[in-house]
Chain A
Amino acid sequence: MATLKESTTRLNCFHCGEQCDEEVFYVEEKPFCCFGCKTVYEILNENNLCTYYDLAAAPGKNRKETISDARFQVLERPDIRSRFVTFEDERQFHITFYLPHIHCSSCIWLLENLHTLNDNIIHARVDFRRKEIFIIADKQGITLPQVAALLDSVGYEPYLSLQDEKKKTPEKTQKGRLIRLAVAGFCFGNIMLFSAPEYLAKGTLEDPQLQLLFQYMSLLLAIPVFFYSANEFYISSWKSLRNKYLNIDAPIAAAIIITFVRSLYMVFVEGQGGYFDSMSGIVFFMLLGRYFQDRTYKMVTFHRDYTSYFPLAAAVIKDGKEEQIPVSELKTGDVYIVRNNELVPADSILVMGHAHMDYSFVTGEAVPVDRTIGELLYAGGRQKGSSIQLKVIKEVSQSYLTQLWNKSDSEAEESNDSGFVQVLSKYFAYIVFILSFIAFIFWLVVEPSRALDALITPMIIACPCALLLSATFTNGNAIARLGQIGIYLKNAEVLEKLTRINAIVFDKTGTIAQSKEAKINWSGLSLTEEQKSLIYALANESAHPYSRAIARWCYTGNKLKVHEYSEVPGKGIHGVVAGHTLFIGKSDQNEEAGSVIIIDDERLGICSFEAVLFDGMSGLFERLKQQFPIHLLSGDTDKDRTRLSAFFDQQYQKYYCTPEGKRQYIKALQNNGQEVMMLGDGLNDAGALLQSNVGVAVTADISAFTPASDIVLDARQIGKTDVLLQYAAYSKKIVIWSFVLSIIYNIAGLFFALQGLLQPVIAAILMPLSTITIVLFTTGFTSLYARRLLK
């Protein structure tokens, strides 16, 4: 009953939807969890933009953790400005910003009505999938930093990073591929029309003039397919040949070129129709399959490095004045300011102020640490509290975290093993080459006139495209199905690697356990409502995660004032509430037990904290344990060891890990011959994720920044990790079966072709029939398994 009552008395913020468990702000009887949320509401209310709240409930971003607007000043620098300004003249300029918070239709509505908030915004347009806003603004009235600050003021902080530039290239190739696909489709369709009469008339039309016209039209239409649409196959196979290995594109390129040359010979020398339809068919279907396979998830990024985490600029103090410079230009000896909630970009020494560093980003440990003047601060820490001044001792590119990243990157790149499909297709190509050569020799002896046909037609009919199609369509569809439930794969190769995994490593904080919440086990006297109110009042004053947990636990709705508040870092908090003296913190006798609560010198009891596992984790561990060894790595203390031993073997649990330690652990497993899948979240896992065979970045918010990885996994889906592995195994099976199917077609075709007897009609029926059945087979089965497994 108590919990039920609690949930009804608690209020949810009208702006961001989070629970108001601290001070509640009211405007027109609407509750807000923090001052920031309230301000956004007031801005929107003044400008008649409250439709924002009608379109979706509580659409805003929580504004508890805000950073000062000063950091936008760096946008005035020409080199940085040019990254965001796409066009400008004397009157206006065009800006594109990436806004990670865009997530619902309310966002689109508000952002596209930005001009009502500021007259100098002429036009604003949102690309929802890409989470981008395109703005045209009046140059006389507003500056770039002001536009950024305006977006920030309504809760959409533009994402400023050095990495933005790299993001633009894949878009272009995708666009080019769409056009190549369209050209191939157009030519393929028309060539089919011109070829149909010839097939139906079994090779010769009554009107020889018409037949000639059809042949030359087919040839004409095949030229753009051969020289333009099929470009990427030549380029990629040429690259692979130069590196002295055969890739998946080489047999296709060979098939295309052979078919084209052979058809030219048929048209000009033999006066026959040629196989232009087959050739453009191959190109069209291959491009189509790849288009769907490579249709990237615009909101998911797999290639992030440290630069995307770090701020764009740092506030350096020069000649007593503050100046924003890009972090990459920070020099050893520079003194700069880090404000509340800002990240330390380079290894530095604290020269002024009191640092209260949240290293959860680097180590996964949620409890902030304290540093005093003269101590070293590593890059990646987030300051909680008042501004501090730091002196750079290592430039950004030399910092500990950056070094770790670069090291793991270079080593991980080397492991470029050839996939299962690649191996199959290579053998397939060899077999076809050998068979047709045998047929060629045979017919050269028996009947020389049929020899050339026997050499070439097997290559055309048995081109490995059916096999390649089965892989591209299976993987493409499987990746799309996984994407629908929040599991995003970087590419098709990952799906294949998943089938070889035989060890799984989990990170603790943020991956299997929630990082911000801790469950409280209370041992002591049962607390009265009044005592709870007292404890809440004191705990609410502190930003320490344990205090926050206690505050949430003791919330009664009653707000009392705290006097003589003092916090001794690493010890606890003191205060006087309603005449009672309170202390919450570490007890003197027993170090590890947790926080004691003392009111008026009476020890009420002790709270111990344990990590809250995500839903479905225990079931997942039980299932996985049957199949693989599962490991646990944590940068945290071993306070949860006993509880987690139910799932993980004692020897497979490792605590107090450094990021480099995690990477070494994975490497040691790999040296034992194991294929490792690593699930992790923060930057502290980045090295391990890159080192592992399949790195899975677990994130609560898909658009948030995840370390470079092979898979980005929605945290709510982590319980389905075993299903993912199963699904990968199934899709490999589907590829094999559709390969068998295409071999049956190929044997039928080869039967005629090797005799040098293949009639155009049979070729014409076999080609599209095999392609279509394979496409149907693969997409049908991947969808069926997806429905059965993933739902």
Chain B
Amino acid sequence: MSVIYLLIGCSIFLALVFLIIFIRSAKTGQFEDDYTPSVRMLFDELPEGKTKKTLKQNTDHGA
């Protein structure tokens, strides 16, 4: 029966990990805009020659 202590520890730990991930994603704003990404992914790439010039020097999306 003592294995149950280990299992309880594991399950709580796992649940905590999910909770922390959720809180982090809520804090970084992932639940704020639940519509635009669904439209954005359907756009085609722009034709050649008009590629994004300076995008690579800035990869963060800001606060």
A48 CA to B4 CA, complexed, in Å: 65
Considering the complex, give the chain B residue whose CB is closest to the CB of A108. Answer: B39
Residue A602, interface by CB 8 Å:
no
Known A175-B27, A182-B23; judge A129-B58 contact (CB<8 A): no
Residue B19, interface by CB 8 Å:
yes
Which listed residue, B8, B34, B35, B40, touches A112 by the CB 8 Å rule? B40
A129 CA to B34 CA, complexed, in Å: 8
Is B23 within 8 A of A116, CB to CB?
no
Which residues of the other chain, B, contact A207 by a CB distance below 8 angstroms?
Answer: 1
Is B32 within 8 A of A119, CB to CB?
no
Which listed residue, B1, B26, B62, touches A136 by the CB 8 Å rule? B62
A175 CA to B31 CA, complexed, in Å: 9
Which listed residue, A105, A108, A186, A213, touches B5 by the CB 8 Å rule? A213
| Shortest beta-carbon distance from B55 to chain A in Å | 6
Which listed residue, A47, A115, A186, touches B52 by the CB 8 Å rule? A115
Considering the complex, give the chain B residue whose CB is closest to the CB of A132. Answer: B33
Known A48-B47, A129-B35, A217-B8; judge A175-B58 contact (CB<8 A): no
| Shortest beta-carbon distance from B31 to chain A in Å | 6
Residue A667, interface by CB 8 Å:
no
Which listed residue, B12, B42, B57, B63, touches A87 by the CB 8 Å rule? B63
Which residues of the other chain, B, contact A217 by a CB distance below 8 angstroms?
Answer: 8, 12
Residue A71, interface by CB 8 Å:
no
Known A87-B62, A134-B62; judge A48-B46 contact (CB<8 A): yes
Is B47 within 8 A of A183, CB to CB?
no
Which residues of the other chain, B, contact A264 by a CB distance below 8 angstroms?
Answer: none
Is B1 within 8 A of A127, CB to CB?
no
Which residues of the other chain, B, contact A481 by a CB distance below 8 angstroms?
Answer: none
Known A123-B55, A171-B32; judge A182-B62 contact (CB<8 A): no
Contact with B along A45-62 (1 / 0, CB 8 A): 001100100010000000
| Shortest beta-carbon distance from A209 to chain B in Å | 9
Which residues of the other chain, A, contact B35 by a CB distance below 8 angstroms?
Answer: 128-129
Is B36 within 8 A of A182, CB to CB?
no
Which residues of the other chain, A, contact B53 by a CB distance below 8 angstroms?
Answer: 115, 119
Of B55, B62, B63, which is in contact with the most chain A CB atoms at under 10 Å from its CB?
A: B62
Residues of B8-38 whose CB lies within 8 A of A: 8, 11-12, 15-16, 18-19, 22-23, 26-27, 29, 31-36
Q: Count B interface residues, CB 8 Å.
A: 38
Of B5, B33, B57, which is in contact with the most chain A CB atoms at under 10 Å from its CB?
A: B33
Residue A532, interface by CB 8 Å:
no
Contact with B along A147-172 (1 / 0, CB 8 A): 00000000000000000000000010
Is B58 within 8 A of A123, CB to CB?
yes
A113 CA to B46 CA, complexed, in Å: 9
Which listed residue, A178, A183, A186, A213, touches B31 by the CB 8 Å rule? A178
Which listed residue, A127, A128, A186, touches B19 by the CB 8 Å rule? A186
Considering the complex, give the chain A residue whose CB is closest to the CB of B62. Answer: A94
Residue A409, interface by CB 8 Å:
no
Considering the complex, give the chain B residue whose CB is closest to the CB of A175. Answer: B26
Which residues of the other chain, A, contact B34 by a CB distance below 8 angstroms?
Answer: 129
Considering the complex, give the chain B residue whose CB is closest to the CB of A193. Answer: B11
| Shortest beta-carbon distance from A700 to chain B in Å | 22
Residues of A122-136 whose CB lies within 8 A of B: 122-123, 125-130, 134, 136
Residue A70, interface by CB 8 Å:
no
Contact with B along A64-99 (1 / 0, CB 8 A): 000000000000000000000011000010100000
| Shortest beta-carbon distance from A662 to chain B in Å | 38
Which listed residue, B4, B36, B58, touches A92 by the CB 8 Å rule? B58
Considering the complex, give the chain B residue whose CB is closest to the CB of A185. Answer: B19
Residue A777, interface by CB 8 Å:
no
Which residues of the other chain, B, contact A134 by a CB distance below 8 angstroms?
Answer: 61-62
Which residues of the other chain, A, contact B15 by a CB distance below 8 angstroms?
Answer: 186, 189-190
Which residues of the other chain, B, contact A136 by a CB distance below 8 angstroms?
Answer: 58, 62
Which residues of the other chain, B, contact A201 by a CB distance below 8 angstroms?
Answer: none
| Shortest beta-carbon distance from B50 to chain A in Å | 5
Is A109 within 8 A of B43, CB to CB?
yes
A535 CA to B42 CA, complexed, in Å: 49
Residue A210, interface by CB 8 Å:
yes
Residue A138, interface by CB 8 Å:
yes
Of A48, A94, A112, A123, which is in contact with the most chain B CB atoms at under 10 Å from its CB?
A: A123
| Shortest beta-carbon distance from A123 to chain B in Å | 6
Q: Chain A: residues with CB nearer than 8 A to chain B? A: 47-48, 51, 55, 86-87, 92, 94, 105, 108-109, 112-113, 115-116, 119, 122-123, 125-130, 134, 136, 138, 171, 175, 178-179, 182-183, 186, 189-190, 193, 207, 210, 213, 217
Pairs A–B under 8 Å by Cβ, sample size 27:
A87-B62, A105-B39, A108-B36, A108-B39, A108-B43, A122-B55, A122-B58, A123-B55, A123-B58, A128-B36, A128-B39, A129-B34, A129-B35, A129-B36, A130-B33, A134-B62, A138-B54, A175-B26, A178-B31, A179-B27, A183-B23, A186-B18, A190-B12, A193-B11, A207-B1, A210-B4, A213-B8
